[in-house]
Amino acid sequence: MNTKLREYHAPVWSEPVILEMGYPGRRGVLFSPVEDKVRATVGDAADLVPSSMRRVQKPALPELSEPEVLYHYLRLSQQTLGMMNISLFGTCTMKYNAQINEAMAWRSEVTHLHPYQDEDTMQGALEIVHGMDKILRELSGMDQFVFQAGGGADAAYTSCAVTRAYHAARGELAQRDEIITTIQTHPSSAATAAAAGFKVITLMIEENGYPSLESLKAAVSNRTAALMLNNPDDMGVYNPEIREWTRIVREAGGISFYDHANFNAAMTKIRASELGFDACMFMLHKTFGAPKSGVGGPAVGAYGCSAALAPYMPKPLVAFDGERYSLDYDRPQSCGKIREFWGNLPVIVKAYAWSRSMGAEGMAEASDLSVLANNYMERGLLAIRGVTRSHPDAKSPRLEMTRYSLQQLKEDTGVDVHDVQNRMADFGIDPMWTSHHPWLIPEPFTPEAGEMYGKEALDTWIAVLARISEEAYSNPEIVKTAPHNQAVHRLKNALIDSPEHWAMTWRAYQRKRKLENSPLPSAPRNGH
């Protein structure tokens, strides 16, 4: 592989926060004077505000022209790698978010919709939600989907709530107080099970890269409420015995929940119901082409289940009688609400548009490309000095991701995975994802190509890691002190959670900066 790396340098701007910018009297928009007829009818606008609510002083807002605001945020975007470069973000099947889908979601028919308005005025929106429901039913074999959950962890909690309601209706909730999961399943499964009041049994990985059937049989009992897992897991390992797992749980009286966060590799290849699962969830903000924000939203964890569990789902559900769509609140056995209203409609619109444009054939091709790209990358990455694969003795091919380790690199050079992450940014590559905690593999990293990137981009990613490995063995300080070409150097981890250093509002920032500059070392710091 002879991939030539560009000499990448991020733009470096000495850019202040916007509240420190501007000049008195500068405006971005000038409003026309109020017409005499309007003023005569309405009166003075100031008189409409009670005197007790009027400001004594003008708000401390920045005064800038429109171009100054535009340039400010443009410079900030240039200082941020974000998702503007090659970003193989592990476990989250990040895709290109088509601009036409974004444009559709920003239409007033979506943004101005209120969930309490008359159902007759939102038939189009309800049709899209119902259409997405039908698509996911086809992909999973489930009988009903609800989109209320605000993300993957919300959907896992939804499953726990449905599980609780199901066993309560059968008079078995007091007895069935245990949920079984695995150590390589997403931590949200164990966390939400505990939050829902269940005891959690966690199975450990064994020699094949997944827990054994014997360990499952030892854990299952008449106290088992449910099994929660993802397959393939975040190491790319697919458990081929999964049908036997769900059979064992079903015969014990429990239900099985399938976390489909890693669905990209399995799209159109497997259906949850055919593997014996009673419920599953999809992340619309990942697999289905809607953007995933790094700050917790917008997101939708679509939860689906069998007809036996459907009565216990959160309400309302979108129903269709052949002529009209409606919100079904008449569900006496429902577990209640997991989140307000009935779903994050803009995300559902984007996912629906993506699904309809891809079709079954497009999804199948995307799945094939994901698996192909992952295994192509594996050949290149394992040729790099200091890189090993998790569970090297497990010979089964990995699917849409593979967990690697830089433990050998660290032992040889002292360079750890965080050093490598920082150095990658110097080459215009978004720093790689490591893994969920706890780290089952030391110094882990988990690239996931998906179907979006071409061979050249994957070659560049591999070449960057190869260059960093060479640097680590020849001059490790270059890597240990990275990044060198970025607007911001390494953050001091000790300050990340310091309430004396960070401020959530401009007023708090001004107060803290004033205290920092105070000549009195013992100046009071109330309100932090």
The rounded distance, in Å, linking the Cα atoms of 167 and 333 is 12
The rounded distance, in Å, linking the Cα atoms of 304 and 314 is 11
Cβ partners under 8 Å of residue 92, min gap 6: 261, 283, 286, 292, 433, 448
The per-residue pLDDT for 403 is 93
The per-residue pLDDT for 429 is 85
Give the 3-state secondary structure of residue 360.
helix
> Running along the chain, 528 residues long, what does each successive block of 10 average in pLDDT?
77 82 89 89 88 88 92 82 67 72 89 93 96 98 96 94 98 97 93 97 92 97 97 90 97 97 91 98 89 66 97 96 96 94 91 94 94 94 96 81 95 97 89 88 92 89 97 97 84 74 82 65 37
- How deeply is 287 buried, as exposed, middle or buried, from its count of CB atoms within 10 A (0-12, 13-18, 19+)? buried
Which fold, 103-355? Aspartate Aminotransferase; domain 2 (3.40.640)
The per-residue pLDDT for 528 is 32
* Phi–psi pair at 318, nearest 5 degrees: -85, 125
* Phi–psi pair at 162, nearest 5 degrees: -65, -40
Token pair for residue 502? 């960070």
Angle at 513 between CA 508 and CA 514, to 5 degrees: 100
Where do the domains of the chain lie? 14-49+60-80, 103-355
Question: Do 264 and 364 contact (CB within 8 A), yes or no?
Answer: no
pTM: 0.85
**Residues in a beta bridge with 301:** 283
The per-residue pLDDT for 225 is 98
- Which parts of 115-162 are beta strand (E)? 144-146
The per-residue pLDDT for 418 is 95
Cβ partners under 8 Å of residue 379, min gap 6: none
As a residue count, the chain comes to 528
The per-residue pLDDT for 521 is 42
Provide the 10 A C-beta neighbour count for residue 189.
28
Cβ partners under 8 Å of residue 438, min gap 6: 183
Question: Do 264 and 370 contact (CB within 8 A), yes or no?
Answer: yes
The per-residue pLDDT for 250 is 98
Three-state DSSP string of 370-413: HHHHHHHHHHHHCCCCCCEECCCCCCCCCCCCCCEECHHHHHHH
Question: Do 203 and 219 contact (CB within 8 A), yes or no?
Answer: yes
The per-residue pLDDT for 112 is 92
The per-residue DSSP string of 73-114 comes to: HHHHHHT--TTSSB---SSS------HHHHHHHTSHHHHT--
The per-residue pLDDT for 527 is 34
Cβ partners under 8 Å of residue 54, min gap 6: 46
User: If you search the block for the tokens 């910018």, which residue do you land on?
Assistant: 21
